[in-house]
Structure 1
Amino acid sequence: MRGRLLKKLENLNKWRMQKISNRNFLVLLAFFVGIVGGLAAALLKGLTHFIASSLQDDVEWHYKYSLYLVFPLIGIFLSVLFVRKMLKGQKFEHGITPIIYSISRKSSRIEFHNVYSQIVSSALTVGFGGSCGLEAPIAYSGSAIGSNMARFFGLSYKEVTMLLACGAAAGISGAFNSPIAGMIFAIEILLTEFSIPAFIPLLISSALAAVISKLLYSEPLFHTTTTGWEVEALFFYLLLAVIIGLFTVYFSFLSQAVKQWFAKISNPYNKVWLSGISLGVLIFVFPALYGEGYLSIQQILDGRFDSILKNSLFSDYKDIGWAVMIYTILTLFGKSIASLFTINGGGNGGVFGPSLVMGGLIGFAFAFGMNQTGLVQLNVPNFVMAGMAGALAGIMHAPLTGIFLIAEITGGYTLMVPLMLVVSISYFINRAIMKHSIYTKVLAESGDLISYEDKDRTVLSMMKLRYVLETNFVRLHPKETPLDRQSDIIHSKRNIFPIVDDEGKLIGIIYSERLFAILLGEQEGKDKTFASLAQKPNDMIVETEHMEVVMGKMNRDDVWILPVVNKEGQYLGFVSKSSVFNKYRGLLVRQGMYLE
């Protein structure tokens, strides 16, 4: 039955390839990706909020403080258990970084299980109080939808990449009901070089996802009203931008430190205990850290500035302005730790949502604190929105996404000028210090990041040594003589011969010119062993080295070919500039077709 169905689908695809051009078919698939991406976003939001409301609404209030200690632990544990038991050995990753890696190194291939596994694991994590966002998981799920749909129909790399980006745009659009921000997110983060035709599929997927998500889950993320901004407050927006930019640098460094620390813990369940208990304690002290944290931001936007203290252990101080501001700052730093502990401890989520919350808390603490001095009276909700956009731009290196996301989800288009200023300054401060975003730093360090600022380096980083390795060389044994292998030497099409011992280790090399001179004239050399005739190569390439290093060694010694060995020194083959250049040309063509 399954075989017949696959056969029919295969025949249908063949008919499609004859009747419909790939360009038109791509637009058609963008419709389906948008619809399915919107359904996935609505499902994730609905499932997460169902879990959260069930835990909070069905529990008597005087028990909640104690239960906050165990809810996050349970959520992270269930998430890890789901991944380990249900996926059984399949690779599971979280965040935006693996999506970028799949584009640059895996031909935009994303495993199918991410369509559902990202939704289930993140709903468990965040629904039980994990202090991270749902946006990265839904972007990952949407990318998997687009990637697998394109691969099913046998589309090319550039078309698979396009639909992958459509899926990510649909996920973000559906999560925030913000189609423009979803489209811009895909362009800024995933499609760093694009052409105008790329807008069409992205617009379709993003718009449809927003419609589907709104029909199924109409609750807005944020709602606020703004009457505009005052020119007199411009200096304070600039000051806020600098503060946020510096905070995003701190968060980037903290993210690296926490990741490295958790990487030292080999047992995944030890990570669960550590992160779950730590998160429970943090939420016990700072209840606003429970879940995504959007509720606290909405309460601030509604003008309930004391809400952040209201349900905490320090609620008696909610009417003291300075206490509210100090507690907000402590909550801000608690959020930075809680979100990273949740993600690295085994929970599934991203820093997209925490970035918005942390930015909003900075904007609130800044404006509210300034108002406490009595010297100025700033519009607190405006600064909250500007802070959200600035933090997103700095941490993710996505300034346009920050601007349009906040403008769309809050309806704050009248704040466009302050948003542009805060976002620009925050972005440039972080980029000047960090160079790469929190998503791309690891990929840049490993040479797996596509960069259009240095195309030569980018194309080299896309190459893998095994694809340019040449193995059709005649091996010579150290104990043999030129006379022993005379026939093989004469008939070889190569001008270089590796000398390899019984254990497969490379002893040295010898060129055909030297061997022919011996065979045709040097009588005494004919009886010498290859071990005595071997010459040391200028350098050797280890199979794990990047192509940038390989070309560096070749250029340094001005050689055209070098031997390749494994970590134990065993001979594998040779790599030549000819093979590298041929592969280089092929990748340039592929890269040129990326989004034409």
Structure 2
Amino acid sequence: MIGRLYLQLELFNRWRTKKISNKNFLVIVALLVGLIGGFAAATLKGLTHWIAASLQNEVQSQYKYYIYLLFPLIGILLSVIYVRRFIKKGKFEHGITPIIYSISRKSSRIEPHNIYSQIITSAITVGFGGSAGLEAPIAYSGAAIGSNTGRFFGLNYKEITLLLACGAAAGISGAFNSPVAGMIFAIEILLPEFSIPVFIPLLISTATAAAVSRSLYSEPLFHLVTDDWEFHALIYYFGLATIIGGFSIYFARLTTWLKNLYSKITNPYRKVWVSGISLGILIFLFPSLYGEGYITIQKILDGSHQDILSNSMFSRYSDIGWLVVAFTIVTVFAKSLAALVTLNSGGNGGVFGPSLIMGGLMGFAFSYGMNLTGLVDLNVANFTVVGMAAALSGIMHAPLTAIFLIAEITGGYALMVPLMLVAATTYFINRAVQKHSIYTKVLAEQGDLLTYEDKDRTVLSMMKLRHLLENNFTIMRPDEFAKDRNHDIIHSKRNIFPVVDYDGTFIGLIYSERLLEILLGENLDGLKMKMSELAQQPIDIIEMGTNMEVVMQKMKKEDVWMLPVIDEKGKYKGFLSKSAVFNKYRALLMRQAAYLEQ
């Protein structure tokens, strides 16, 4: 049955390559990716909100918020159990970073199970109160849809990469009902370089996803009514952006610190217990941390500022303005901790949504606090919206995505100038300290980041050492003599002979000049010496898995054309030459040029 399906698919691909150009076919497939991505986004939102509503509606007693202490723990535990029970092959990852890694190092291939696994685990995690966002999981699910659809139709790397970006953009578009922001997200975060023609598939997929998602789940994320912004408030917008820019640096460093801390906990269930209990306590103290947290932002936009303290132990003091401001500021830091605890514990989600919440709360605290001084009268709703864009821009290094996303999901196009000001300011503040975003920092440190700021480094990072190995060398054994291998030495096309033990361990190498001197009688002592005695150590050795940039630095430093390669156990794998690297370099440049010409 499967064999017949593959045969029919192969026949179809042959037919479509003759009848439909690749550009036209990509538009058709982008439409398909958009349809599936929009359905996936609606499914994720609907499932998550159904779980959350079911849990909250079922608990009606006065102790309901004490019971909420357990819900995050249960959600994270169920998510971990699902991953360990149903995803046994490969590694389950979450966030935007693995998508970028797939483009840079895995030929844009994403495992098919991510199409549904991202939806299931994130719906459970966030639905049960995990303090994370749904946007990264749906982007991952959409990217998996695009990647596997491209592979299904036998497309090449550049086409699969474009469809992967279309899928991720469709996920963002469907999650927020924001097609423009989805398209810009794909270009700004996922596609390192692009040309005008890539807009067409992206537009098709994001528009389709938004339409499908809206038809299945039409509830808007935010409602904002604003007429305009006031010129005198520009200096305050700049002040807010400066504060949020500093906070984005703090958040990036907290991300690294917590990730390193959690890496020391090897037992996955111990992570669940530690994180679940910690998260439950945080939600008990700050109820607005439960789930995504968008409801709190909407209450602020509606003018219900006192509701920030609702359901908390401080609710009786909601009429004290400065206490509201102080509680909001503490909630921002609690949200940053809660989101990262959720993600590092084994739960699934992203920092996309938490970034919006933290920025919105800071925008509220800043403007509401300034109004309490009586010195100025700022539009609290406007500053809340602008704060969301500021945080997203600084944390993600995506100012354009932040601007258009906030404008679309709030209807705040009248705030375009403040949005542009704060997005640019927070981006440059964070970028001045953090060269890479939280999504790309780890990849950059590992040399796996595809970036066009440094063309040579980028191309080298795309190379895989195992694909550049040369193995057509005549191997010598340590107990052999030169005369035993007379024929092989004379007829070898290589001037280097690796000496390798019978178990594959690399011992050293011998140059052909020395062996020929021995065979021609110019070195009589050499006739009595074994290969192990004749072998010499190379100037340097390359281990499998070494970054190609490091390899080229070694070759340049020692001024050598070829170096031996061994694995982590010292086993001989072959040689790497500059010729192989340069040939691959040219091939990758040609592939990139073809990508840009589409």
Per the TM superposition, whether the score is higher than 0.5 is yes
Are 2:517 and 2:523, in contact at CA under 8 Å, matched by a contact in 1? Answer: no
Structure 1 residue aligned with 2:378: 378
Query: 1:316-342: per-residue Cα shift (whole Å, max 9, x none)?
Result: 110000000000011111000000011
Structure 2 residue aligned with 1:590: 591
1:297 has 2:285 as partner: no
When residues 523 and 54 of structure 1 are mapped into structure 2, their CA distance, relative to the original with a 3 A threshold, is closer
C-alpha distance in 1 between matches for 2:548 and 2:567: 15
C-alpha distance in 2 between matches for 1:351 and 1:430: 16
Are 1:198 and 1:595, in contact at CA under 8 Å, matched by a contact in 2? Answer: no
- Offset, 1:158: 0.5
DSSP 3-state at the match of 1:367? helix
**Superposition map of 1:169-180 within 5 A:** 169-180=169-180
1:471 has 2:471 as partner: yes
C-alpha distance in 1 between matches for 2:503 and 2:192: 47
- Offset, 1:80: 1.0
Q: Which residue identity does 2:458 align to in structure 1?
A: T
C-alpha distance in 2 between matches for 1:330 and 1:140: 31
C-alpha distance in 1 between matches for 2:322 and 2:355: 24
DSSP 3-state at the match of 1:229? coil
Structure 2 residue aligned with 1:545: 546
Q: Which residue identity does 1:162 align to in structure 2?
A: L
Q: Report the more deviating stretch, 423-432 or 568-577.
A: 568-577
Aligned-residue sequence identity (percent) comes to 68
- Offset, 1:569: 2.5
Structure 2 residue aligned with 1:359: 359
Q: Report the more deviating stretch, 430-439 or 77-86.
A: 77-86
Q: Which residue identity does 1:496 align to in structure 2?
A: I
Structure 1 residue aligned with 2:568: 567
DSSP 3-state at the match of 1:393? helix
| Unpaired segments ≥5 residues, structure 1 | none
Query: 1:371-412: per-residue Cα shift (whole Å, max 9, x none)?
Result: 111111111111111110010001111000000000111111
When residues 89 and 529 of structure 1 are mapped into structure 2, their CA distance, relative to the original with a 3 A threshold, is closer
Structure 2 residue aligned with 1:81: 81
C-alpha distance in 2 between matches for 1:405 and 1:33: 21
Are 1:483 and 1:527, in contact at CA under 8 Å, matched by a contact in 2? Answer: no
C-alpha distance in 1 between matches for 2:343 and 2:360: 21
**Superposition map of 1:273-352 within 5 A:** 273-352=273-352
Are 2:478 and 2:530, in contact at CA under 8 Å, matched by a contact in 1? Answer: yes
Are 2:9 and 2:153, in contact at CA under 8 Å, matched by a contact in 1? Answer: no
C-alpha distance in 2 between matches for 1:595 and 1:123: 37
- Offset, 1:89: 3.2
**Superposition map of 1:52-201 within 5 A:** 52-201=52-201
**Superposition map of 1:184-223 within 5 A:** 184-223=184-223
C-alpha distance in 1 between matches for 2:48 and 2:145: 20
C-alpha distance in 1 between matches for 2:501 and 2:87: 44
Query: 1:332-382: per-residue Cα shift (whole Å, max 9, x none)?
Result: 110000000111101100000000000001100111111111111111111
Q: Which residue identity does 2:540 align to in structure 1?
A: D
Query: 1:131-161: per-residue Cα shift (whole Å, max 9, x none)?
Result: 0000000001111111111100000100000
Q: Which residue identity does 1:548 align to in structure 2?
A: E
C-alpha distance in 2 between matches for 1:154 and 1:570: 36
Structure 2 residue aligned with 1:228: 228
DSSP 3-state at the match of 2:564? strand
DSSP 3-state at the match of 2:595? coil
What is the TM-score when the length of structure 1 is the normalising length?
Answer: 0.98
Query: 1:481-534: per-residue Cα shift (whole Å, max 9, x none)?
Result: 222211110011111111223443333222112222222241513333333332
Structure 2 residue aligned with 1:557: 558
Q: Which residue identity does 1:29 align to in structure 2?
A: V
Q: Which residue identity does 1:354 align to in structure 2?
A: P
Are 1:162 and 1:595, in contact at CA under 8 Å, matched by a contact in 2? Answer: no
C-alpha distance in 2 between matches for 1:508 and 1:90: 36
Q: Which residue identity does 2:275 align to in structure 1?
A: S
Q: Which residue identity does 2:58 align to in structure 1?
A: D
| Unpaired segments ≥5 residues, structure 2 | none
**Superposition map of 1:236-255 within 5 A:** 236-255=236-255
DSSP 3-state at the match of 1:8? helix
**Superposition map of 1:439-588 within 5 A:** 439-524=439-524, 525-588=526-589
C-alpha distance in 1 between matches for 2:293 and 2:548: 44
C-alpha distance in 1 between matches for 2:499 and 2:164: 48
Are 1:142 and 1:164, in contact at CA under 8 Å, matched by a contact in 2? Answer: yes
